[in-house]
Structure 1
Amino acid sequence: MIYLRPHHGLCIQHFVGEGYSQDFVDNMKSTIQVLENTPNIEITLVPASDNICSSCPNNNQGICLSGQKPEDYDKSCLSLCNLNFGDVIQWKEFKQIVQKNILTQDKLSIVCKGCEWISICQGFYE
């Protein structure tokens, strides 16, 4: 089982190898590899620290030092995808829902407003 903050479904699809630290980058690559190699794996959508956060330098014992922003990203993602915290879903299905309801609808800037990495993600569509 992979625990995933909803907005990380967007981050994963745009990841290019940059991040907060080398530990974070390595963990992100490892998580993406597991998800992409086992698309039927179940993920649980969580409102706090997840598998990706585990190696983030902004993670202080499960509390994100980035403040309210990640929570807002999660809530926007869930709302646009008609999902809820606690939902258990296969990675491939979650990925498709995010693509259909956010990425192909050009709503990334709505969900990720104020994210320091958004320029990387938006570069995918230029």
Structure 2
Amino acid sequence: MKQEGLKIRAHHGMCLHFFEGKGYSNEFTAHMQKIYEEMQKNPEVEVVACGDEICKKCPNLENGVCNTWELVLHYDREVLKCCGLAEGIKIFWNDFAKLVEERIISSGERQKICGNCQWSSICSKKVEKSLLETEKNCVTL
């Protein structure tokens, strides 16, 4: 029997790219780590703009309703638009992650999409560190 693909919110493609073991709570972080590790196996995922596997342990989910749904729906729609994908597409994780990297992170679009996210400073620092390492490598060549 074929396992149904994981549902992943479009904006969680960015969150997983920058994930470093921090989160809203210990329970959420452990759950996010589990999902992060699962993504390393390159499963087929369904990219959605609604609640997903990661959302299940989020403290912003109260009685089955996300209390930041308008904000994160905007993030999802922008990620889908930048990646040229339709909601509900089934795609292998590595292919989706590559689109997010190329069309959002490397192109500098991340800040425009989710610069107001409470975790944005972590992402910004990682982008800055990556740019500095790239410049350093170019100088040593």
With the shorter chain as reference, the TM-score category is over 0.9
Contact 1:49 1:62 in 2 (8 A): no
Q: Normalised by the size of structure 2, how large is the TM-score?
A: 0.85
Decide which of 89, 92, 113 is 2:91's aligned counterpart.
89
Whole-angstrom CA distance in 2 between matches of 1:5 and 1:62: 16
Whole-angstrom CA distance in 2 between matches of 1:56 and 1:67: 12
Q: Secondary structure at the match of 1:68?
A: helix
Whole-angstrom CA distance in 1 between matches of 2:80 and 2:64: 21
Question: Which residues of 2 match residues 1-126 of structure 1 at below 5 A?
Answer: 1-36=5-40, 38-39=41-42, 41-126=43-128
Q: Which has the larger radius of gyration?
A: 2
**Structure 1 residue 64, shift from structure 2 partner:** 1.0
Contact 1:48 1:63 in 2 (8 A): no
Contact 1:58 1:64 in 2 (8 A): yes
Q: Secondary structure at the match of 1:44?
A: strand
Whole-angstrom CA distance in 1 between matches of 2:95 and 2:63: 30
**Structure 1 residue 68, shift from structure 2 partner:** 1.0
Q: Secondary structure at the match of 2:45?
A: strand
Distance 1:48-1:86 versus aligned 2 partners, 3 A rule: same
The alignment yields a C-alpha RMSD, in angstroms, of 1.0
Q: Deviations over 1:88-118 (max 9, x none)?
A: 0000000001111001101111110310100
Whole-angstrom CA distance in 2 between matches of 1:87 and 1:68: 21
Q: Percent identity over the alignment?
A: 32
**Structure 1 residue 70, shift from structure 2 partner:** 0.2
Give the unaligned 5+ runs of structure 2: 129-141
Whole-angstrom CA distance in 2 between matches of 1:125 and 1:60: 32
Which structure has more relative contact order (CA 8 Å, sep 6+)? It is 1
Q: Secondary structure at the match of 2:126?
A: helix
Q: Normalised by the size of structure 1, how large is the TM-score?
A: 0.94
Whole-angstrom CA distance in 1 between matches of 2:50 and 2:69: 11
